[in-house]
Amino acid sequence: MSTNTIRHKSRSQPRPLRRGTNLLKYIQDVGQVSAAALLGTTMIASAVVAGGLVGLAISFRNLPDVRVLRNYVPSETSYIYDINGTLLFSLHDEANREVIDIEDMSPHLKRAVLAIEDSYFYSHNGINPSSVGRAVMANFQAGATVEGGSTITMQLVKNLFLTPERAISRKVAEAVLALRLEQIFSKEEILEMYLNQVYWGHNNYGVETAAQSYFNKSARDLNLPEAAMMAGLIQAPENYSPFTNYEYTKQRQAIVLNRMRQLGWITPEEEAEAKAAPLLIGEIKSFRSSISPYVTEAAVQELKQRFGHDAVLKGGMRVQTTVDLAMQNMAEATVQRHNARIRHIADQMSLVAIDPRTHFVKAMVGGVDYQESQFNRAIQAHRQPGSAFKPFVYYAAFATGRYTPSSSIADTPVSYPDGYRSYSPRNYDGTFMGNISIRQALEVSRNVPAVKLGQAVGINQVIEVSRTLGIRSPMQPVTSLPLGAVDLTPMEMAGAYATFASNGWHSDPTFIVQVTDSTGNVLLDNTPQPQLVLDPWAAASLTDVMQGVIARGTGTAAQIGRPAAGKTGTTDSQRDVWFVGYVPQLSTAVWIGNDNNTPMRSGATGGTYAAPVWRDFMQQALANVPVENFRRPSEFVQP
């Protein structure tokens, strides 16, 4: 059958009502009414109800139009996976549900549900007055509720359209709507909607999520004992749940099996075997936490910006993220390991790794312990990058065509007007080296040459380059900007350096590869569409110089035994230390600092603290990745 019947958006999803056993309790408590008299009375009342339905229908002209179900879909759980298909997280509103076709449901389950809920489903037209009498007799003889009085069609319209506040007239309304529903939909369509709609306990709506929770298997694979147990839950799911009382669950299962045998749908031997079979119970999955919460929260935020809150929580999305779980685990373990080493000087650390070829985020760690702090420092913490910002200035200089890595620049004292005072940049060690090459100035991270170069090319031009590289944080055109006088995120830094690594090809970093709905229709295809935003010669020249930072400059602690480029970053007050670097296949930013922004101890630098973290992670992440050389500046035309 077509699945369009039940797969369309809905704004709200009423919680299915549970039918109790109060009629049976009344019979047992009073104990003075004979079965025959009770049956006669019930059938007379049923006949009155049936005979008056046509007239009563006139009073229910304002009831919902059941034809809307042709364009209706229950809210469904969305699932988030890593790039290789490993489930990271599932998210949903009140209803944890996965809709499946009736052909994909176990025949045992369908028979078990019909046996206990509506054994005459295929022979009535939505209401079955005589079934009330049969249900009363069956329940009286069994000493327990073995069959309900409402049809499955009536239960479905009750769950979809009616609320407890309409209790006085609800039964008649159910009957009228059930008649209408049976005129429009086939029995198979109604049963499919019912089984996908009904509440099975522990926030599981629909048979598929229930089967996955109770038995760690799909609904298509349920055997007879499991199916009978599932069918027995419908009347009072939490009460009959095996997670609550396994013995009670088995008693309820036996009632279902007995009813199936009475109907001739299973043999006495099958009944006995199913009753004796132990149930291998799974676990409650509706409220499980994410495998990588920093990642999945960032992915959900990106999804909500694209699709909206309700679509993400109720739309049954299948989201393939860019993150490689194996690499993510490496990143998390690396951060925790190095945090243990340096926690006496800094309490937090974050790491972001991006593939320069796609700008897909491959790993992200927002802090040392998500359980202690859910604040994501990789994308939410804006901290000064220090000298890790200098490559933006040097690229801007190379892109003018007036400078090359061998150009000379003076590392000598200088002052600039700054309001009512002057600004005199100083080097980290307080000394000056005189005329030096741009290559040497960046390798050993001299401050004064960077400020002079920023003035030569124009601070506004440096800001423009930063914007081109994806920097969105506020930036002011201050003289000290080349030294990192701006607050940026590790995500922004890793993404910008990834564009350097790709010789100027840029895409906006993303956590999402593809999004489909539950039927496989593609909602978002994030196939990379990079654009060339930098001058390739200038980008290659910058990479060539930054290889020297690792080979013989301030970043020697980041050497990984293959061509790599990067830059250390340390703020004057030692509040933030960084190392951001890349190979052609991976760009990674590491930040270390204190959440309260207090300084670390004197002497803390990006080279001594952040670079070893970067090296540790990159060696693991690249263990099975072939060594690849950077393209040389000579391969491109100089502007």
* Per-residue CA distances from 525 to 321, 514, 626 (Å): 11, 5, 28
Domain boundaries, the chain: 3-276, 328-635
**Rounded distance, CA 359 to CA 621, Å?**
16
Q: Report residue 240 as tokens.
A: 């009959």
Q: At what angle do helices 107-117 and 224-233 cross, to 10 degrees?
A: 40
Cα-Cα-Cα-Cα torsion 285, 286, 291, 292, nearest 10 degrees, comes to: 180
Q: At what angle do helices 107-117 and 152-161 cross, to 10 degrees?
A: 90
Cα-Cα-Cα-Cα torsion 448, 453, 456, 462, nearest 10 degrees, comes to: -120
* Residue 35: HSE in the Cβ half-sphere, 13 Å Cα cutoff: 10
Catalytic annotation, residues: 117, 387
- Which pLDDT value is given to residue 37? 37
* Per-residue CA distances from 455 to 397, 400, 416, 445, 458 (Å): 10, 13, 10, 17, 5
- Which pLDDT value is given to residue 602? 80
Please choose, from the candidates 360, 342, 361, the residue with its C-alpha nearest in 3D space to the C-alpha of residue 351.
361
**Rounded distance, CA 176 to CA 185, Å?**
15
597 CB neighbour count, 10 Å cutoff = 12
Residue 63: phi and psi, rounded to 5, are -65, 155
CATH of 3-276, one of 3.40.50.800, 1.10.580.10, 1.10.3810.10, 3.40.50.12780: 1.10.3810.10
What is the edge-to-edge ordering of all strands in the sheet holding 522-525?
87-91, 78-81, 318-321, 512-516, 522-525
What is the value of pTM for the model shown?
0.81
For domain 328-635, the CATH superfamily is DD-peptidase/beta-lactamase superfamily (3.40.710.10)
Q: For residue 261, give the 3-state DSSP assignment.
A: helix
Please choose, from the candidates 96, 486, 511, 470, the residue with its C-alpha nearest in 3D space to the C-alpha of residue 303.
511
Residue 605: phi and psi, rounded to 5, are -135, 165
- Which pLDDT value is given to residue 139? 62
- Which pLDDT value is given to residue 133? 61
Q: For residue 606, give the 3-state DSSP assignment.
A: helix
- Which pLDDT value is given to residue 149? 63
Q: Report residue 83 as tokens.
A: 């790039």
Q: Counting Cβ atoms within 10 Å, is residue 415 exposed (0-12), middle (13-18) or buried (19+)?
A: exposed
- Which pLDDT value is given to residue 1? 39
Q: What is the DSSP string of 274-314?
A: HHHSPP------TTPPPSSHHHHHHHHHHHHHHH-HHHHHH
Instruction: Assess contact for 96 and 203: CB atoms under 8 A.
Output: yes
DSSP state of 83: T
**Rounded distance, CA 578 to CA 609, Å?**
8
Radius of gyration of the chain (CA): 34
**Rounded distance, CA 507 to CA 367, Å?**
25
Q: How far is CA 380 from the centre of its chain?
A: 18
pLDDT along the chain (639 residues), means of 10: 35 31 32 38 45 49 77 88 96 87 96 94 87 62 62 89 59 83 93 94 92 94 97 92 92 96 96 95 81 95 94 94 98 96 93 98 97 95 97 98 97 89 92 97 98 97 98 96 97 98 97 95 95 98 98 98 98 93 98 95 91 98 97 94
Q: How far is CA 150 from the centre of its chain?
A: 39
481 CB neighbour count, 10 Å cutoff = 22
| Residue type (1 letter), 430 | G
